[in-house]
Amino acid sequence: MTYIAKTAPTLATALMLALAPAVRAQSTGPDHAGYDPNAQAGGHYHEGELGEKLMLLETALKCQCGCGLDVHSCQFQMQCGTSPGWSQRIRESLQRGESVDAIQASFVADFGTEVLMLPPPEGFNLLGYLLPALAIVTAGMFVGVIARGNATRGALASVGPISDDEAERLRAAMARLDQEESPDW
């Protein structure tokens, strides 16, 4: 094989990488929904006390675009049309001084409890909280009954003192067993 034939694939790959447009990370730049050069700290709204509250609310609310992700994850991974608007609504409410609970309650009032990532433990939702624990306890009890084998103390053989002849036979059997099963090293 010639030198050119060996290096051609490497050169072609290097040329493609050099000519390819630069690929930026999703979470940076002005075209990303979470980035804003007018934001107070570092061009991103998820910094500082406001950012902590924003993150808390964005991770507590489920995006309604059908992805099943929370608003923050959908905004940064799926980039749907719903989550940026919700994030802006949350941000504006926080800037007006509304509490986290009040903002969350407004979303529940508008969209129902299915907007919450963690449904409230009431009504039928209790089944989702209690059923896994009940299943684990029941399975443990079932395994315990099976492992026990329904054995009772009355069905066990009584153990009494053994005679000298039986003790000698037992010692000989144990010595023979040790000899047969000893390692070869």
pLDDT digits (tens, 9 = 90+) for 104-152: 999 999 988 889 888 888 888 888 889 999 999 999 999 988 887 766 6
Range 93-100 average pLDDT: 91
Please give the pLDDT value at position 54: 87
Confidence band, pLDDT 50/70/90 cuts, at residue 82:
confident
Range 156-177 average pLDDT: 88
Range 69-96 average pLDDT: 85
The neighbour count for residue 94, using CB atoms within 10 Å, is 19
Euclidean distance between CA atoms 85 and 74, whole angstroms: 12
Q: What is the largest CA-CA distance in the chain?
A: 95
Confidence band, pLDDT 50/70/90 cuts, at residue 27:
very low
| Of residues 88 and 4, more confidently modeled | 88
